[in-house]
Structures are given as C-alpha cells and as structure tokens.
Structure 1
Amino acid sequence: MPSTTVYNQAGEVVEQLELSERVFGVTPNIAVLHQVVTAQLVNRRQGTASTKTRAEVSGGNRKPYRQKGTGHARQGSTRAPQFRHGGVVHGPRPHAYHHDVPKKMRRLAIRSVLSDKVASESLIVVNDLSLETPRTKDMLTILDKLPTADGKKVLMMLPQRDENVVLSARNIATAKVQHVSSINVVELLKHDYVVMPVQTVRWIELVFGEGLSAEEASRAINNSAEETPAAETAAESSSEE
C-alpha cells in the first residue's frame, strides 16, 4: 500500500499517511492520459476565429480594368484573394470545438497522474494549510520549508476555499491555489509539485476511489472534521477523571 510523509507548515515530519492503492497506487495509463489531455485542451478553445470570403468583403463590385489589351491578367473584382483587402481562401470559420471523454477515462487519467506524483515524491501532504492573515511572505516561508525545489511550479489544492491562502499565493509566479473539486489532468501535469492537506487526500480517495460524488465527499469530510474535536474533548475529559 502506498504511503507518504505528512508535514506541518514548519516543514517538520508529523506522521506517515497510508494512501488508497486504488487512487495513488495504480500504473499510469499513458494512452488514456494523452486522450484526456488532448480533449481538455481542445475543449478550452472558443472557436470564434473568423475570416471573410470574397463574397463577404466590401467593395469590388466594378471590374478594375477592361478585359483585353492591357497586358494584365483578366480580373473581375479587386476583392479576389490575390488583391489587397481581398477575401480569404479556406480561412477559419466559427465552429464548436468539443471532444467528449467518458467519465471513467477522466478518472483513470487523474488516478494515473496522482500515482505518478506519489511515485516521484512530488506529492506533498501537510496536516493543515492555512494562514491567519493574507501575506505573501508567509506563504513563501511555508513553501521554502516544504520539500519543493526552487523555481519549480507548485499547485496547492484546498478542501475548501481559504481567502487568506488564495491572496497570499496569487503574487507568487510559481504557485497556484485551487479547490480540490477543480482537479484536472492538465493542471496536475503542468505543476512539478502538488501540495494538499490531509482532508484533500481523503476527499480524493472518496471521489476517485469510493465513487462518491463531489458533494457527498465534501459532506463526509465536513462531518468528520466536526466529529474530531468532539472526540478529542471526550478523550481529554476521560483522562482527567
């Protein structure tokens, strides 16, 4: 079963976390990865590029010169493609770019990338990722203490939006923060390191390992987070007795 080291924000080792083999221990499927990445990049295209043909450009209604006797090739309009301001031949026209990929393939691609991150020690798990106030210097300090190489791109995935973390990282060129529900193959491959709290890991295991929906996984994570303080309080009271 795959496992990874859990750090705190000071870069100290806290514990070893066992990961789901169904999510973080699969053999990467390169063919599926290629199809999903291609589809995702294609679906980002707006498809609004447009050009005008010789029938759509303005002007050119009159024959530019007489048919014979000039020594030039015969022309019927100055809006033919060979003239300046003429129409475009076989130019782009607005159309939809869409490549549909089955849900199972998308999830297999994400599991493949996550498994590769674990195998290459590029997945960094922290017990918590939060800041009391938005400050870029504090975020840089956290990233410096974590085992990330200088100049490498870092993707931080949060279980819920934290405005302080978002504001602290937006001026760092090599760092990006996003919600775990926005997880996608392109962003995972684009960044060298992925930093996520333990709650994010559990959310991913519930969605991509157990097959829960994003809403169900979020509710389960929130419920477990609420039950943990109550259990700790009960344990403390029993130890005092």
Structure 2
Amino acid sequence: MKASVKNLKNETVGEIELDESVFGLPVRADLLSRMVNYQLAKRRAGTHKTKGVSEISGTGKKPYRQKGTGRARQGSLRSPQFRGGAVIFGPVVRSHAHDLTKKVRKLALKTALSAKLADGKLVVLDQASVETHKTKALAAQFKTLGLNSALIIDGSNPDESFMRASRNIPLVDVLPEQGANVYDILRRDTLVLTRNAVEQLEARLK
C-alpha cells in the first residue's frame, strides 16, 4: 500500500510503500486494550502500604482476663477492631507489573500502527528537522499540517532543534523509533512518522 510523503510546509514531495504486514493488519481492540493495561500496570509505583498486627507498636499483654467480664475475649489491643490497630488484608508494597509475551506486544504495536492508517490519522513526513529551535515557527508549520494532537516518531537520532522546538507545544510528543509504543500512539489523535521511522519500524516488526 502506498502513502504520500509530505514536508513541514504541507507539500506532497513523494510517495512511500508501506508494508502490509506492519500497516495493514485488522484492528483488534482486545489486543490494544491488553497492551495499554500492561504498560500502565508496569508504570504503577505500588508503594501503598498499611500496617499489619506485627508492625503496630504497643503491648503484647492480654488486655483483660479471658472469662467473667461479660465482654468478648481479646488477646491484643493491636487487633483490627481497636482504634489504632492493624489493617487486615491491606495493601502492601508490590509490583503491579504482569507478563505479556513478546509476540503479543509486537502484534499490538503493529495493530496500533494499522489502526491509525485505517482511520486516516497517519501522516508520513519527509524529515522532521528545522533550522531554528524556536517554538513559534514550528507551531505555525504544525497548524499548516493540521496537527493539534500528535505523536511524532523519527528515526533513531531525532533532530535536537526539532525536539527542543516541539517541547513547549501542548499535545505534541516526539519520540525516537525505539521508543514507539501502543499507549503513546493511541493517546494522541494523529500519528506522524518520518521516512526513517517507517523504514526502521518495518525492519524491526517484520
């Protein structure tokens, strides 16, 4: 399948052949959902914590005798029914990450790329480079291209001036090819790939 290649002035400067095994897959919402859950779970800090009975400071003495008081038997004031006592089955410090096979992760990334192309939300740029690092000039070019919310993926070494110029533009992210991921692709409206990014993604995902 072919796609037109544009420059930052929104002029068509050529065509590129997109590999159907990477950009032409059927869209599977279940696969994308699993991948997003995997990424977000991996990000979670998991530092929430409550104290168990063994961690509460206090005496280990039995509060009152077993029988004859008319009250329920008690063995410790650190029990959960007392104020300042323990929390039963409370959260503990742990990792929320879970496994997802490499094959599924690779397929999910290809599906996300295919979904953007199917929705007409994929733009291929000749190159993502600018002469100046000033944000104003690049913002005007993005407006010409109709980019309000976009993820821009360049080759392995993105242009430093381009990255600095785009840093202050809201809803615009720039990533190198090796940082391409499903969550960032889906959270922005338009996906912008450079020629280099297309070639490197195809080589990596074929």
TM-score (normalised: structure 1): 0.75
Matched position secondary structure for 1:36 = helix
**Partner of 1:90 in structure 2?**
89
1:157 aligns with 2:153: yes
Amino acid at match of 2:150: V
CA deviations on 1:110-158 (whole Å, 9 max, x unpaired) are 111111111111111111111223222122112111133x4xx211111
5+ residue gaps, structure 2: none
Quote the RMSD (CA, aligned, Å).
Answer: 2.3
TM-score (normalised: structure 2): 0.86
Counterpart CA distance in 1 for 2:182 and 2:10 is: 27
How many positions carry a matched residue from both structures? 205
1:172 aligns with 2:146: no
Do 1:8 and 1:128's aligned partners in 2 also have CA atoms closer than 8 Å?
yes
Counterpart CA distance in 2 for 1:71 and 1:139 is: 79
Matched position secondary structure for 2:104 = helix
Structure 1 residue 99: Cα displacement: 2.3
Counterpart CA distance in 2 for 1:66 and 1:185 is: 62
Do 2:150 and 2:188's aligned partners in 1 also have CA atoms closer than 8 Å?
yes
CA deviations on 1:47-75 (whole Å, 9 max, x unpaired) are 33322112211124455567778776554
Counterpart CA distance in 1 for 2:167 and 2:56 is: 45
Counterpart CA distance in 1 for 2:168 and 2:76 is: 55
**Partner of 2:5 in structure 1?**
6
Match of 2:189 among 184, 187, 192: 192
5+ residue gaps, structure 1: 210-241
Counterpart CA distance in 2 for 1:67 and 1:104 is: 61
Amino acid at match of 1:130: S
Structure 1 residue 94: Cα displacement: 2.5
Do 1:4 and 1:118's aligned partners in 2 also have CA atoms closer than 8 Å?
no
**Partner of 2:127 in structure 1?**
128
Structure 1 residue 13: Cα displacement: 2.1
Structure with the bigger RCO (C-alpha within 8 Å, sep 6+) is: 2
